[in-house]
Structure 1
Amino acid sequence: MTYCLGILLRGGLVLASDSRSNAGVDQVTHVRKLAFLPTAAGCTAAILSSGNLATTQAVLSTLQERSGSGLPGLDVTAAKSLFEVAGIVGSILRTIVERDGRYVAPYGDAAAGFLVGGQMAGEAPRLFQVYAAGNFIEATDRTPFLQTGETKYGKPILVRALTIETSLEEAAKLALLSFDATLRSNVSVGMPIDLLTYVADSFSTESVRTIEVHDPYWMALREAYGAGLSELIDRLPTP
């Protein structure tokens, strides 16, 4: 299992993923699930992966190998919009699942999913969720975040506190608290967390931070949030 989160804001994007890959209780490894797609000048695109590791790696490798080919619908560096990039990811995913699915079926599920976020020159930042079938949806003003993997534990705080107008700094904080709730509730999601904070129109991929379990900010955030919740519950009226 995994947890990947994408947040769309007026000021840019926040993308985060855990690093645990689990193929059984004695086959737990750490895998980076945040990657950057090859793109042309004036475009930045990041991708978060969940699901079958062999499938996600095959999709990412295929995207890399086809970059620069110039083939429409196959080469992300030739895409004219983030919508087209999401379509290329979905098409490659569909092909790989169809190719490998029946062979994987006796042992597990070949399905995978992705979050694709970024910005193309002339467009505002955009965020898409690509499903195992290859189809996809886009985040909107009314639904400014998308999740894949183990989503249920980290969703409540986002629904309550996040809007399209939230600042990048506050959204990053909410993203980490969403991961805190998930990590506390499901052992199949694990540290470290890879966190990208993308500023609109910057076309920069430099704001990536890997947060380890003993990161001072992470530890202080969890402690302060827990203490704050306890204080709030004490102040609430009893039924």
Structure 2
Amino acid sequence: MRIGILGAGRMADALGTQWARAGHELMVSGRAPEKAAALAERIGPAARVGTFREAATFGDAVLLAIRDDGVQDVLAAAGAADGTLQGRVLVDCTNPVVPEKLTLKTAGGPSMAERVAAATRAHVVKAFNLCHEDVWRMTPPVFDGVKLAVPLCGDDPDALALVRTLVTGLGCEPIDGGALERAALLEATAAFMIGLWFSGANAQAVIPPLKYAFGAH
């Protein structure tokens, strides 16, 4: 698979490196061309560097892996207004979180994923936003014998099927999170869980295992 990556930060590094190891071909782009070039070199022969517009039109899927406050500028540089991303599979792993308060910047309005969809007319799938980048560097992310589950929110069946292959390629388990309108819930979950982790709480213990979801029987 050919994957364009908008961003050259830590999430782009973590996911891009794993996808390259899985045999995918990558194009990395960033606001600092030298940083993007360094990331492509670090990933290896499967990666090359390009502009945002080139990465947006590179192949089968596009990963949006930048800070939320840079989304609109990067999409503009990628040519979203010209239709470069229209109809493409776009994976959104951004988290519009207020760092100091760990609340959502998008509270009361469309989710970041829905805003990206409106700006690009792409088939957006919200995914990979619930874990620190170093979790994605694990090969594979398995905890106490259980694969990491990755919720996906999106509206297009083909886009969801493609992203499921990217999830399974990391050794994780894709799970259906519902339509793209539910991406707001996924983004809120990230904000809430980040707050728990920073407080030192075991967020995994907040909910019971599936067999006890409705109590003991």
Common topology (TM > 0.5): no
Radius of gyration: which is bigger? 1
Structure with greater helix share of residues: 2
Structure with greater strand share of residues: 1
For normalisation by structure 2, the TM-score amounts to: 0.31
